[in-house]
Amino acid sequence: MADSVLITDIQRFSVNDGPGFRTNVYLKGCPLRCQWCHNPETISAVPELYWKKRLCVQCGACLEACPRDAIRPPIPPEEARQETSTYHKIVRDRCDLCMKCVDACLYGALEVVGRPMSIEKILDEVEEDRPFYDNSGGGMTLSGGEPSAHAEFSRRLLEQAKARALHVCLDTNGYCEWEVLKSLIEHVDIVLFDLKHIDPARHKERTGVSNERIIENLGLLAETGQPTWVRIPVVPGFNDSVEFHTAAANLLANMERGIVRVDLLPFHNWCQDKYGWLGLEWTLRDVEAMDPVFLEIPADLYRNKGLETTIGGSGFESSEQALDG
């Protein structure tokens, strides 16, 4: 039984991941490989290394510290920082993540992504903002990555969060055994469930896995009556058609019991830096961010089926309802 798990971030004062002000706990590790992922640092379940070129002064200290010849020699900083530059400090296929370069860097240009944290330390940090939760109906949202990929740790974390009288949301892609998901939802107030596509082949093409298990789990979840917010990341050329939203609205309308609302989340490309920091090319880098106004017509398709629907998923639209419930 793991005493700790890798955390990429504990993000405070979030307003888009459940009701009120929330503290999001991001676990590291996810079984999906969504091409539009806005948190690529949460995909791998092991520690990783950021190189932030805008902070790098090319001093060479990391080169001297590296025992595996996995650091490229310095070049002029202004040359490395050019948008068209192909220079990357780390030779990734030689790096064994010993992190000696991080210790040597005095400028914060090299950073470990994924720090182990115990349940107690996580919850102690989450509880620092309890006054904001009490005033807004907020609390903790367990996210990732994918919490079900760390099933036992996540279950104990959620259980102990409820023991501390915290309002708890679980953000999940639903790709796990039903018994795992069932064990987690016993300790949460609201489930935030990602729905990416209806068609199994299209889903696998862009996420790496089919969606049969996900759709099945969403149906079983709805049958429990557990309050669920279905969140649909709307990605240009993937699931932005009227046909998709019509099918999704019909599917969700037939899952009456637990579906409290639908959040349409417009695609954005503000995560480009993270891919660069990890030395990765992002295939959607040049796709423009989606103007939320273009989701008004799809949103009406869900509303016409009796589903409360938001664009962007602000948690304050339903915070009063969450407090009443």
Alpha-carbon gap, residue 197 to 269, rounded angstroms: 20
Alpha-carbon gap, residue 115 to 172, rounded angstroms: 21
Buried b / exposed e along 15-42 (16+ C-beta atoms within 10 A) = bbbbbbbbbbbbbbbbbbebebbbbbbb
Dihedral pair phi/psi, residue 214, rounded to 5°: -65, -50
Q: Is 228 helix (H, G, I), strand (E, B) or coil?
A: strand
DSSP code at position 230? E
pLDDT values of the chain reduced to their tens digit, one per residue, 325 residues: 789 999 999 999 999 999 999 999 999 999 999 999 999 999 999 999 999 999 999 999 999 999 999 999 999 999 999 989 999 999 999 999 999 999 999 999 999 999 999 999 999 999 999 999 999 999 999 999 999 999 999 999 999 999 999 999 999 999 999 999 999 999 999 999 999 999 999 999 999 999 999 999 999 999 999 999 999 999 999 999 999 999 999 999 999 789 999 999 999 988 999 999 999 999 999 999 999 999 999 999 999 999 999 999 886 654 333 333 3
CB 149 within 8 A of CB 29: yes
pTM of the full predicted structure? 0.93
Buried b / exposed e along 83-95 (16+ C-beta atoms within 10 A) = eeeeebbbeeeeb
Domains parsed from the chain with CATH numbers: 4-45+115-324 (3.20.20.70), 48-113 (3.30.70.20)
Alpha-carbon gap, residue 288 to 236, rounded angstroms: 9
Buried b / exposed e along 204-233 (16+ C-beta atoms within 10 A) = eebbebbbeebbebbebbbeeebbbbbbbb
With residues binned 3-state (H G I as helix, E B as strand, rest as coil), the percentages for the chain, rounded to 5, are 40, 20, 40
DSSP code at position 265? E
* 25, β-bridge pairs: 10, 142
Tell the residue number behind the tokens 């892609």, with chain if given. Answer: 173
